[in-house]
Structure 1
Amino acid sequence: MLAPDSTLMSEQGWQTTGATGSLQNLKKFNNQDFNRLRALCLSQGLLFEDATFPPHFSSIGPNLLPEDKLRQIQWKRPTELQRNPFLIIDGVSRFDIMQGEIGDCWMLAALGSLTLQKQFLENVLPKDQGFQDNYAGIFHFRFWQYGDWVDVVIDDRLPFLNGRYLSVHPRISNEFWPSLLEKAYAKLRGSYQNLHGGYLSDALVDLTGGVQVQFSLKDPPSDLEEILKAAAKSQCLMGCSTSGHLRNIELRNGIVQGHAYTVTGAVKIRYKNGWKHIVRIWNPWGHGEWKGPWSDNSPQWDHVEPQYREAYLRNKDDGEFWMSCKNFQEQFSWLYVCNSTPTFLDFGDQHCTSWSVDRHINLWRPGLATGRNNYSSGAVSTNPQYFFKVPDYDPKTYNVVISLMRKHSEDMQDAKNLKIGFFITGENSKVLKQIFSLTRDVTNYFTLSPGTYAVVPATTENQEFEFLLRIFMKNQDYNENPNSLPSPVLPMEAPRQNEDSSYKAVFLRYAKQGSDIDASQLQQLLNEVILQDEMTSLGGKFSFDSCRGILALMDLRSNGRLTLQEFGSLWRSLAKYRDIFSKEDRNHSGFLDVSELKNAIQTAGLATDEQLLRLMTMRYGDAARRIGFADFVYCMLRLEIMTYAFQNLAGGRSQILMTAIEWLTLVMYT
């Protein structure tokens, strides 16, 4: 059973899709609106000064530096440092970053990986800012925090100690995006001090909103090389870290202990008479490289064909280097991989696969069973349980990933010693697996046979705080439905949506454990799966009333619910009408005007006249007689189905004879 707080927290805690917190409707950190604040500063001829993150040692943090050094901190704007500063010069690259005095290599390693993946980078780094146009000393950046995309506003005053950057400093002296982005992340976390030491896994999720999995390199999975190649091929973010109680100690071989790195590539390369798996890694210091086999000047490159050597080898002291997969496992402790969905687990899969995700938001309350001394029936019986069904599987591949994230209050005691985790139970509530960790995000991957399972979140402390649970499931698509909708065009929103292109998997995800769906489930499905690109979402959401109408049109049994077969017909119609809408919306406004609607009806092969067209735009359009995508779908389905109903009843004639009850039955339900 779900805990009674589940629905409440969906509305009042982490925001659901479409509410504040999506990329289309960002949550404003500290209620600061970037556009309004910049316009105000420009109108008054002032440079922005952020009172919520001031140039004060409180923004640095009390324990990062000795008190005498804290008092020596100076804050300077880029315009005071350079005659011609830029936010970005010649694009964004990991080589723009050089770590400063703060020990935030974990964040910079994730940031270095972000620069390689444009689809994620554009979410974090808005383009509507710079030093050349409308400069007012104000910038903003976006991060994903506990289910919400948050817009963080900062001023551009940067901390200096003895004339040197305290924070990350750019390789090119007048390019400032790394320093400003790092400042925004420090503000989000409370201070620069809170960046001094952290988990690379946290930063990967904060920069993408994706799911991350950690792989131990001391006890690696047997298919590590395949995971690396699949991750590189599917454009995942990747990082790695070394162990060591003494941080930033550089060994003779060039590897730094207690340090985080970016994994920037993994390839299988022809070497001598065979093949070699090699991994490319980047040091956020911006210098300091591996000196062993496959390093920049190693003899191994002499046995690689010239075209591959030229393509892969970059012989510069820029912090980036290659090493063999074997040496990678020996020198590093952990590999971190992150993407919208767990595509890095798709290696060896012979079918076209995709992943769906189920999100649950809830609250741990004092009094719920914990997992400290009772990792079995007690914790399972009283904690909230979330059910999922595995319809089929390939025993050679992973098919389920479970991610649990905690959100604790700032004043929570012993937060660093808090373990969270989950049980997976099968039939009769038998505990099959249990995972617990001290990290904020506990994620693991599984191969589960067909059946119904439950995930039971648990904690080692009897304290109240929120959690976010995401259950990712692999769905195999054998191309049974060639008209299925394409994957959404915003992969960065995957945690908020079902990404599967198979209508069967979509149906099962929203039908939960039932065999059909009602109007409320249909509304949630349409808004979370269909309205994912900007074009279709501009015209508004599917209302509950329109979803009841759509359901009635497709409901062959007239029982107020849709079966899988009935939903399949609707899915094909959605694909058809989305293509038509996209084609006719030539100015990409997200709406069709009267003439565009007329063309859309003709493209669909349906008939209309000026009188009917006027009535349709009044019934389904806005005050300007424009129709958004959601209303267009309802309108076209009704027009199409009522046209076919008339044709069936008329039998080729231009008129039909019906009793009053027959007519009322037709029009009152549909």
Structure 2
Amino acid sequence: MLAPSSTLMLERGRQTTGATGSLQNLKRFNSQDFKNLRALCLSQGLLFEDDTFPAHISSIGPNLLPEDELRRVQWKRPTELHRNPHLIMDGVSRFDIMQGEIGDCWMLAALGSLTLRKQFLEDVLPKDQGFQDDYAGIFHFRFWQYGDWVDVVIDDRLPVINGRYLFVHPRTSNEFWPSLLEKAYAKLRGSYQNLNGGYLSDALVDFTGGIQVQFSLKDPPPDLEEILKAADKSRCLMGCSTPGQANRNIELRNGIVQGHAYTITGAVKIRYKNGWKHIIRIWNPWGHGEWKGPWSDESPQWDYVEPKYREALLRDKDDGEFWMSCEHFQEQFSWVYICNNTPSFLDFGDQHCTTWSLERHINLWSPDPATRRNYYSSAGAVSTNPQYFFKVPDYDPKTYNVVISLMQKHAEHVQDAKNLKIGFFITMENSKVLKQVFSPIRDVTNYFILSPGTYAVYPATTENQEFEFLLRIFIKNQDYKENSNSLTNPVLPMDIFRKEDRNHSGFLDAAELKGAIHTAGLATNDQLLRLLLLRYGDAEGRIGFSDFVCCMMRLETMTYAFQNLAEGGSKMSMTAMEWLTLVMYT
């Protein structure tokens, strides 16, 4: 339920539905329409030249390459680099990708995983383009940004020096989808230079619109092997990273590169000798360079695997892909990243018995204008910020049932802006802070096991600076059938509050609260009304909107609880009003 602390905040924010936005309502990056631009070029017999991301040093960035190399950069179209170019040859594969001189392994690791998941790949790489039909030097790719899919148009001029690709280059010389997709992503983020270092988690979300979660391998979950297998079964995108300074390219003697991002391409439990072994398949975006330890391509461990399984799993090529045991994986890597439309892997792949629902909210967080307080000020201070309520209906203490993701939105064309340290509080109705998660990254996501009840989420930042955010709340096994007569409908509480707040003060007094309760179809009496104002109101006996929502949701829940008990045959020794008077103050 959307419930900011004032009507102004409610009108400024908005709630949306659907997990990943809509491809039918694409936003056009820089207002460029691919079909119209291509048609114009074809009618004029011209090849498209993109003035918004020109064949110029500004598109590369001033500090990515030495000055002497920047001066020697030429921009060549695939038709100038190869006499028979293709966008795609024999399907899209991670083995088509070979990283260039830019440190964008984080993006390429996500891209490698994307090639394995066709349900996402077709969203990013449209099929209505190529070099054979209607070629006009123009291409387009789609990325998810803060709740919307964005269509990014580019021309196909690629930066080269003496015929050598500067950035991503294809393993097959005449296949150009990796280079062109990288260029489109560079345009989205402002320049190629802005791809030089980044977060694998960001790219996974940008390619899917999904929810990503991260696991530290310093303190991994006890069921990591099962989580990875479930994620593979659920067709999640997966990646991992090694400790160390990024972009240093330090390769250890065992073949693992420090400060580097990789793709997880498989996770299986395999019969080995007289038992079982969990092994993980990993791919290096360099397109070469592999693990040399146990379970590597030529290691003796494979001699103890049944031939049919060895033949199915082992690919003995220097293509950057290798197997390793889960134990060595935890030793060599530092983080695991998993992304999908819903956090289905937390169900261990069992998508038939459980469902996940989603609420999305877009709003603006601002410090208190009077005191410039940030989230550290006090527990009460968070009530001045946007807050969002949700109900947890079911509970299994062994499985996660809530995932919350808070994403900070940078201004358009400022993709390289510094990330604020953002996060959120989770509270119950008594306002006690149960959880708080803060981190200086774009997308702060965490997963929880919460008992049934009503909770509130407060987005915030540790810095005295406003920021626009996208908040997503995934809840397991929640019934989301619309019911216009229920207070769980996000529109109804505000309609009632506005109707009864006759003097537009932003508060309800006793008489107005009584009218609001009756309008909602609930019952009260003078004793219960006084109790509600004491429990949820301020010192002047008034109740604000956010406290009104808490009050009404609990009143509705407890009213239905009494009805269910009575209808279920329970012998009730009290009236409905006595029951509500008892339970509404606790």
Structure-2-length-normalised TM-score: 0.80
Give secondary structure in 1 for the equivalent of 2:159: strand
**What is the identity, as a one-letter code, of the residue corresponding to 1:266?**
A
Q: 2:461 aligns with which of 459, 462, 465?
A: 459
Q: Deviations over 1:488-537 (max 9, x none)?
A: xxxxxxxxxxxxxxxx33348x887448997999xxxxxxxxxxxxxxxx
Provide the residue aligned with 1:392 in structure 2.
Answer: 394
- For residues 526-605 of structure 1, the aligned pairs below 5 Å read none
Quote the residue 1:97 is aligned against. Answer: 97
Structure 2 counterpart of 1:200: 200
Q: In 2 relative to 1, CA 271–379 (structure 1 residues): closer, same or farther, beyond 3 Å?
A: farther
Q: Match for residue 360 of structure 1?
A: 361
Q: Which residue of 1 aligns with 2:314?
A: 313
Structure 1 residue 110, shift from structure 2 partner: 0.2
> Cα deviations across residues 372-424 of structure 1 (Å, max 9, x unaligned)?
67175044222211110101111110000000000133798995362000011
Letter in 1 for 2:129: Q
Q: Give the corresponding residue for 1:153.
A: 153
| TM alignment of 1:86-165, pairs within 5 A | 86-165=86-165
2:213 matched to 1:238?
Answer: no
Instruction: Report the Cα distance in structure 1 between the residues aligned to 2:354 and 2:373, rounded to whole angstroms.
Output: 35
Distance in 2 of aligned mates of 1:386 and 1:416 = 26
- Tell me: CA distance 1:520–1:376, structure 2 relative to 1, closer, same or farther (3 Å): closer
Whole-angstrom CA distance in 2 between matches of 1:310 and 1:361? 50
Equivalent position SS for 2:418: helix
Distance 2:190 2:417 in 1: 16
Aligned partners of 2:32 and 2:211: how far apart in 1?
28
Q: Residues 54-102 of structure 1: CA distance to partner in whole angstroms, max 9, x if unpaired? A: 0001000111112222121110000000000000000000000000001
Aligned equivalents of 2:324, 2:256: Cα separation in 1: 11
In the alignment, residue 461 of structure 1 is paired with which amino acid? E
Pair 68,306 (structure 1): closer, same or farther in 2 beyond 3 Å: same
Q: Which has the higher contact order (CA 8 A, sep 6+)?
A: 2
Give the structure 1 partner of residue 78 of structure 2: 78
Higher helix share: 1
Q: Which residue of structure 1 lines up, in the alignment, with residue 404 of structure 2?
A: 402
1:39 alignment counterpart: 39
SS of equivalent to 1:35: helix
- AA at the equivalent of 1:439: I
> Conserved in 2, the CA contact under 8 Å of 1:99 and 1:169?
yes
User: Once structures 1 and 2 are overlaid, which stretch shifts more, 366-375 or 442-451?
Assistant: 366-375
Cα distance change on mapping 1:5 and 1:255 into 2, 3 Å: farther
Partner of 1:618: none
Q: Is the 8 A contact 2:16 2:360 kept in 1?
A: no
Judge conservation of contact 2:367–2:373 (CA < 8 Å) in 1: no
Instruction: Go from structure 1 to structure 2 and tell me whether the alpha carbon gap of 1:389 and 1:311 turns closer, same or farther (over 3 Å shift).
Output: same
Is the 2:190–2:413 contact (alpha carbons within 8 Å) kept by the matching residues of 1? no
1:161 Cα deviation (Å)?
2.6
Q: Which structure 2 residues correspond to residues 136-535 of structure 1 after superposition, within 5 A?
A: 136-245=136-245, 247-347=248-348, 352-367=353-368, 374=376, 376-409=378-411, 415-416=417-418, 418-475=420-477, 504-507=479-482, 513-514=487-488
- 2:474, 2:289 → 1: CA distance? 38
Matched residue count:
494
What do residues 544-568 of structure 1 show as CA deviations (whole Å, max 9, x unaligned)? xxxxxxxxxxxxxxx99999xxxxx
Separation in structure 1 between the aligned mates of residue 71 and residue 416 of structure 2, nearest angstrom: 30
Check 1:460–1:274 CA distance in 2 against 1; reply closer, same or farther (3 A cut).
same
CA contact (8 A) 2:214 2:338 kept: yes
1:449 and 1:146, CA in 2 relative to 1: closer, same or farther beyond 3 A? same
Amino acid of the residue matched to residue 131 of structure 2?
Answer: F
Amino acid in the other structure paired with 1:276 = K
Cα distance in 1 for partners of 2:467, 2:243 equals: 30
Q: Are the counterparts in 2 of residues 516 and 561 from structure 1 also a CA contact under 8 Å?
A: no
CA distance in 2, matches of 1:324, 1:392: 36
1:389·1:513 contact (CA, 8 Å) conserved in 2? no
2:554 — aligned with what?
none
Please give the secondary structure, in 1, of the residue aligned with 2:278. strand
Moved more, 367-376 or 270-279: 367-376
1:245 Cα deviation after fit: 2.2
Query: Structure 1's 414 and 281: CA in aligned 2 closer, same or farther, altered over 3 A?
Result: closer
Q: Secondary structure at the match of 2:41?
A: helix
SS of 1:263 mapped into structure 2: strand
SS of the aligned residue for 1:112 comes to helix
Alpha-carbon distance in 2 for matches of 1:254, 1:132: 41
**Using the alignment, how far apart are the partners of 1:216 and 1:363 within structure 2?**
30
Q: Provide the C-alpha distance between the structure 2 equivalents of 1:516 and 1:464, rounded to a whole number of angstroms.
A: 25
Aligned counterpart, 1:64:
64
Q: Which runs of 5+ in 2 are unaligned?
A: 496-517, 523-586
Structure 2 CA distance, aligned partners of 1:375 and 1:80? 61
What CA distance in whole angstroms lies between the structure 2 residues aligned with 1:235 and 1:145? 22
Change (3 A) 1:414 1:253: closer
Structure 1 CA distance, aligned partners of 2:424 and 2:467?
15
Deviation, structure 1 residue 344? 1.1
Partner of 1:262: helix, strand, or coil? strand
Tell me how far apart the structure 1 counterparts of residues 108 and 36 of structure 2 sit (CA, whole Å): 30
Amino acid across the alignment from 1:442? V
CA deviations over 1:111-135 (Å, ceiling 9, x no partner) = 0000000000000000000000000
Q: 1:116 to 1:561 in 2, by over 3 A?
A: farther
Cα distance in 1 for partners of 2:435, 2:372 equals 16
Distance 1:371 1:452, change over 3 A: farther
Contact 1:519–1:560 (Cα < 8 Å) also in 2: no
CA contact (8 A) 2:189 2:415 kept: no
Q: Is the 8 A contact 1:124 1:207 kept in 2?
A: yes
Distance 1:517 1:101, change over 3 A: closer
Distance verdict in 2 for CA 1:24–1:449, change over 3 Å: same
Change (3 A) 1:138 1:348: closer
Distance 1:376 1:511, change over 3 A: farther
Runs of 5+ consecutive residues of structure 1 not aligned to the other structure: 477-503, 522-558, 564-670
Distance (Å, rounded) in 2 between the aligned partners of 1:412 and 1:179: 23
Are the counterparts in 2 of residues 361 and 468 from structure 1 also a CA contact under 8 Å?
yes
Task: Decide whether the 8 Å contact of 2:402 with 2:449 is kept in 1.
Answer: yes
The answer (yes or no) to whether the contact 2:211–2:343 under 8 Å persists in 1 is yes
Instruction: Check whether the contact 2:4–2:10 (CA below 8 A) recurs between aligned residues.
Output: no
Q: Which whole-Å CA distance do the structure 2 matches of 1:473 and 1:57 have between them?
A: 47
Shift of 1:160: 0.9
Aligned identity (percent) is 80
CA distance in 2, matches of 1:331, 1:519: 52
Aligned-residue offset at 1:307: 0.7
- Mapped to 2, the partners of 1:295 and 1:68 lie a distance apart of 41
Q: Is the 8 A contact 1:124 1:141 kept in 2?
A: yes
Summarize the alignment of residues 13-52 of structure 1 with structure 2, pairs less than 5 Å apart: 16=16, 22-52=22-52
SS of residue matched to 2:411:
coil
Identify if the C-alpha distance between structure 1 residues 92 and 450 changes in structure 2 by more than 3 Å, giving closer, same or farther. Answer: same
Which one-letter code corresponds to 1:505 in the other structure? Y
* Aligned amino acid, residue 284 of structure 1: P
Alpha-carbon separation, structure 2, partners of 1:249 and 1:230? 32
Aligned equivalents of 2:314 and 2:186: distance in 1? 35
Aligned partners of 1:370, 1:309: CA distance in 2, in Å? 63
